[in-house]
Structures are given as structure tokens and as C-alpha cells.
Amino acid sequence: MKTALAIVALTSSLTATAGTVSDFTQVDDSGSLSQLIRSNAPQYWAYMRSKANLKDIKPFLEFTGVVTGDPHLGNFSARPIKSAKGGALKMRYVDIDFDDAGEAPFVLDFVRYLVTVKSFSDDVKIKEMQEAYIKGLQGKAMTPPGVVSKLLAMGADNYQKLAADYVTKHTTDTGFKFEDGKVEKPKTRIDQKQLAALFPGEKVVDVAARPKERGGSVEGERIWVLVEGADGRRIMELKERETPGVAKYQSQPAVKTWSKEVHDALWPDLDPSSYDLVSFDGGAFWLREKGVSLIDVPYSSEKAKSLDYVHELAVYDANVLGILHGNQSSEYAKAVDKQSDAFHDAVKALVNEYLDFAKKAYKDN
């Protein structure tokens, strides 16, 4: 989707705000250590910038590129996406959250991933995830676990049926079903001409606001737009873009360059219009169709079956992350493989250091 309001208008730069370690946010609202950590990606990158002991991991810090910024099990899922060259929609397993992405050392992105996994499940060993990650760095894709295989095999048509059911559940003939705390009427005026320009060939039926929630994007505005076209109705989300977490670690390029880099690295050869950055109402917003949640990560579950499910998914996602990093730097892949024992020890020490830091913040609350 390219419009007169598209990303070409977004030219401001992302200046690093690193220098001091900010306190954890949303501590009171966090029901677990895992939830606290997942809600604080910017704090993680600030910690890595100015407080972490990076001595042992230093040999790997020179390898930088575009990282996800906040890799965790809930940020990888299957979505119907076209290739960059067009064609039909196809189910693909991808990173579905670019909020904290940008330029940074690959190894710190991997450490972030390990931290999010180990914060709620100690059953998944770092060595297992590292082995899967190294395979990914070398371009070796693992066989998807059963839960992912089923999603990839379901087909875009079946996914679209689920999306249509979601639209039906949350709307009436005239618009959204409003409910306080969930889907509300906008509290500020929405420029209808700007909004309509984002959806050429479709009719804007109704507009709703999503209350600001806890999580990594708590401050950003979220607008739901019900649009209707030849293929029926869909709910589109405008999610205000905030400064990415990695900007706490190092300066980022101008937004136009940053967005292209993120798409090229995290969605290689895929159509970026499914997850576009547009200018709207004087700000920058991510524009995407409201997705259907297909993988329910049992972050708080202690049931053996659920933990087995998590175990397979955690190892597989480490492989997916490795592929994204390895696509950008063969030299990094070689360095990690050559020094795999040193890499493991350095990574494990840093994971434990940060977990201890986060546990103290959570315990002291």
C-alpha cells in the first residue's frame, strides 16, 4: 500500500537516547518476571549500553546489523503475506513486531531472546537454543514443530476466514461494538480525509480507539479502522510508532532509511505493504490488518504439556532468529561457529547477569 501519505514523508532521524539505565516501567502491573522483562525492551538496551559487563562478549559485538530488538515467542507467528514480487498470499512464519527493531549487535539480540525464554521456563537450555541459532546463522532452517507446521499448512484462505470471524465478532452492520476498556470511541477528532487516503478503493465504515495498554508500546496511540471493499470488511490498525528500544543502545538512521532496513532484514523478499509505516495526523503509524492470534504462548503455565510445546517453539524460534542475523553477516556466523564454547559462556553469563538484575527489580516492588 503506497499513498501520498506514505513513508517517503518520514525523514526525521532516530537519535540515540542511551547513556543511563532507566528504571523498569510497569513494575506494579507485571504479574511475573517474564511479563516485566517483555514489557521493558528499551530498558534492556539501555542496560546493555551503560551497565552490563560486556568484557567476555566483546569479540562478537563488532558484528552489527538490523536486529528485532525484542525477540520473544509471542513476537513470531504465521501470517498471510505476498512476496515482494507479488503473487498470491501465502502463510509465512515471521517476526510480527518491528517496534523495537533497528541497528545493533546481533549477539545482544540473541541474548535478549534467551532472557525472555529463561525468565519463564528454565527447562529450555541455552545450549539447545544456541545450537539452533548457529544452524540458522549458517542458513540451515530447522523443520518447524507441529504447532508451526499446522499454521503454515492452514492456507491463507482459512486464515482469512478466521479474520472475517474476528471482524464479525467485534462489529455490527453500522460499525464497531464499543466497550469501555477494550474498544472505545476516539477521544480526539480523526481527520477523515487523511484516513480515507490510506485506503483507496475502500470505504471507511467506522473508527475506534484502543485504550493504551501495558507492554512495550504502552504510550503509543492505537486506532482501529473498519474498512469495506470488494472482498468484504477488515479491521485495520494504526499503531503509533515510538522510538525503538535499540535507540537506547546506539543511534539509528533517519526513519525512511530505518524502515527500509528493517523490512529488508526482517521480511526479506516479502511485500512490505502488509506492515507499512505511514504518516498520519502529524505522526508516524504502523499500518497493518488486525491479525488473528494463532499461537497462545503459555507464559504462566506450569503444565508439562504446555512446557513441552514451549520447548519446541523456543528452539525453533532461535533458529528463525539465527537465519535473520546470518542473512546479514556471514562473518558473524563464522565467528560464532569457530568460538562456539566462548560464545556460549559469554552469552550465558550475560543472560544470568541481566536476569539477576531484573529479578531484584521485580522482588523489590
Euclidean distance between CA atoms 134 and 125, whole angstroms: 15
Half-sphere exposure of 208 (CA within 13 A, CB side): 23
pLDDT digits (tens, 9 = 90+) for 49-106: 999 999 999 999 999 999 999 999 999 999 999 999 989 999 999 999 999 999 999 9
- Contact at 8 Å (CB) between 16 and 46? no
Answer yes or no: is pLDDT of 3 > 50.
no
Answer yes or no: is pLDDT of 297 > 90.
no
Residue 213: what pLDDT?
Answer: 59
Residue 6: what pLDDT?
Answer: 43
Q: pTM here? A: 0.91
pLDDT digits (tens, 9 = 90+) for 198-242: 999 999 999 999 886 545 455 678 999 999 999 899 999 999 999
What sign does the dihedral 123-129-130-132 (CA atoms) show?
positive
Rounded to the nearest 10 degrees, the angle between the axes of helix 340-364 and helix 41-50 is: 120
CA 176 to chain centre: 27
Half-sphere exposure of 298 (CA within 13 A, CB side): 14
Residue 7: what pLDDT?
Answer: 40
Euclidean distance between CA atoms 33 and 38, whole angstroms: 9
pLDDT digits (tens, 9 = 90+) for 328-352: 999 999 999 999 999 999 999 999 9
Q: In what order do the strands lie in the sheet with 276-280?
A: 203-210, 222-229, 232-240, 283-289, 276-280
Residue 31: what pLDDT?
Answer: 87
Residue 19: what pLDDT?
Answer: 39
CA distances for 137 relative to 215, 284, 350, angstroms: 30, 33, 20
pLDDT above 90 coverage of the chain, percent: 76
Euclidean distance between CA atoms 328 and 362, whole angstroms: 36
Q: Is 86 helix (H, G, I), strand (E, B) or coil?
A: strand
Facing residues of 78 across strands?
Answer: 93
Residue 100: what pLDDT?
Answer: 97
Residue 44: how many other CB atoms lie within 10 Å: 29
